Structure formats: structure tokens, C-alpha cells
Amino acid sequence: MNSSISVVTGAAGGIGAAVARALGERGSVVAAVDSDASRLSRTTAKLNADGLRAVGYAVDVARRADVESMVEAVERDLGPVDHLVNCAGVLRLGGVRDLTQDDWAASFAVNTTGVFNTSQALVERMVPRAGGAIVTVVSNAAATPRTDMAAYAASKAAAAAFTRCLGLEVAAHGIRCNLVAPGSTDTRMLRSMWADERGPRRTLDGDLGSYRLGIPLRRLARAEDIAAAVLFLLSEQAVHITMHTLTVDGGATLGV
């Protein structure tokens, strides 16, 4: 992975920041993309202070024209992109009867359309070069029903289906497209779902009332655990793996 160029969306925090750091530690130059310019600036400053090379691009991945401009800037500033990691995501909680049109639209704008925008823009450049790797970070909720998470689960399921279809279409060009499906991971997004200090224990134990299993390994994932899975799928160790979903949830979905 040395000397590669990697685009990471949602890089200002959580899983995206962990992926950006892990890639940087492997020698990749990271184009860190996020809509939150101030958090992104702090994240990239920390990476560079630690001797890694990261350049920030404040972009809303839901805006196609901005994504195109970002990709052009990255390839002009850093060089041809080898890897794309789609980590940008939003969570709008609520039962189906309570979700607003805005909740639904915002979930799909970032979690699905954002993946389409970045993937298509970069594949257009990867195909003539006959190589590249894309990993889309989805969720174990993409394949397992969750109460109060219909918009999130549906948007992540759509992103997963899109990524697999893309992987089939570009396989002949030497481009691999895979998925990482995290479960409960100790990030700001997960903590936003906790009402009080009992949140972590309830996550580990599960909730019969919402038909949610606990975590058999009895630990929350760290963002670094998800980053490790992403790096594997980008690496030469995974050279014969494409259209695959690697679930990283401590057994919460029982391997299904």
C-alpha cells in the first residue's frame, strides 16, 4: 500500500478517521473528505503532525458537482487515486410512522447517493488505468431488520447492492469492490443512540423488546477494528476478493 493514493469520505471522525489514519500508517497518501470543514481540519492537522500525509477536502458527497471537482483536485494535487473508502454516513432514528420526508431524503442523500457519486466519479478514472479498489462501509443493519432504523438500514442496503453491482461491472478492468458491515462501534454515532450511562451495557446485552440480539463477544467494536477490515480488503492479501461483505459485529447477527 506504500505510495498509494486513497480517498476516504466521512474522514473527520469515527470510522472514517480511523481508516484515514490506518491508511496513512501503511504509507498511503490520504485525501480526507468530509462535509464538516472544522472537524476535518483538526483531523488532518493531527495526522500530519504525527508524520502521516493527509490533505483535507471539505465536500458534501451528496452534491455531485462538488464530488467531481474534489476528484479532479485530488488527482491534480496528489496523483491517480488507487483506493476509495466510502465511510460518510448519517443516522436518522425513528419508527417508520414517525420518519419525516427530510429524514428519509437525508439518509439516502449521504448514505446511498453519496456512495454512487464518489464511486462513479472515481471508477471513470480507474477503468482506463485497469486497477483500483473500493470499499463501502455499510452496516449489519443493511441485512438485519432494526426497529427505529428503517431509513438508515434501507439506505445502507441500497449502498450495499449498488457496490456489489458495481463490482460485477468493473471486475474485468481489475477493480475490486467490497463491503465492510460494522455492528455497534464506539463512535459518536452510536453514543447518540444511548439515553444514559446504561447504553453500553444494553448494547452488549441486547433488547428483547426491540428484537435485537446482544454481542456474543461481549465488547463494542472500536473504530480501529473496522479500519483493519477495510485495509485487508484494500490490500494485496485480498487480491482475489470482490463483491464480498465482511461483517464486523462481534457475532451480533449470528453470522447470517
Mean pLDDT of 196-214: 81
Backbone angles phi, psi at 197, to 5 degrees: -70, -10
CA distance 31 to 210: 39
In the predicted structure, residue 2 carries a pLDDT above the cut 80: no
Please name which of 174, 152, 122 lies closest in space to residue 8, comparing C-alpha atoms. Answer: 122
152: its cell numbers = 438508515
Residues 6+ apart with CB under 8 A from 28: 1, 2, 3, 4, 5, 6, 82, 83
CA distance 47 to 31: 12
Residue 152 annotated among the catalytic residues of the structure: yes
In the predicted structure, residue 106 carries a pLDDT above the cut 80: yes
Three-state DSSP class for 91? coil
Q: Which pLDDT score is estimated for 190?
A: 65
pTM of the model: 0.94
**Can you tell me which residue has the cell 474534489?**
70
Q: Which pLDDT score is estimated for 205?
A: 78
Please name which of 221, 238, 215 lies closest in space to residue 187, comparing C-alpha atoms. Answer: 221
Please name which of 152, 33, 22 lies closest in space to residue 88, comparing C-alpha atoms. Answer: 33
Domains, the chain, ordered by start: 5-248 (3.40.50.720)
pLDDT digits (tens, 9 = 90+) for 46-87: 999 999 999 999 999 999 999 999 999 999 999 999 999 999
pLDDT digits (tens, 9 = 90+) for 129-183: 999 999 999 999 999 999 999 999 999 999 999 999 999 999 999 999 999 999 8
Query: Predicted confidence band at 91 (pLDDT cuts at 50, 70, 90)?
Result: very high
Mean pLDDT of 106-126: 98
215 near 184, Cβ under 8 Å?
Answer: yes
Helices within the chain (DSSP H only):
14-25, 37-49, 64-77, 101-108, 114-129, 150-170, 188-191, 199-205, 223-234
In the predicted structure, residue 186 carries a pLDDT above the cut 90: no
Q: Which of 139, 152, 179, 221 is catalytic?
A: 152
Query: Predicted confidence band at 204 (pLDDT cuts at 50, 70, 90)?
Result: confident
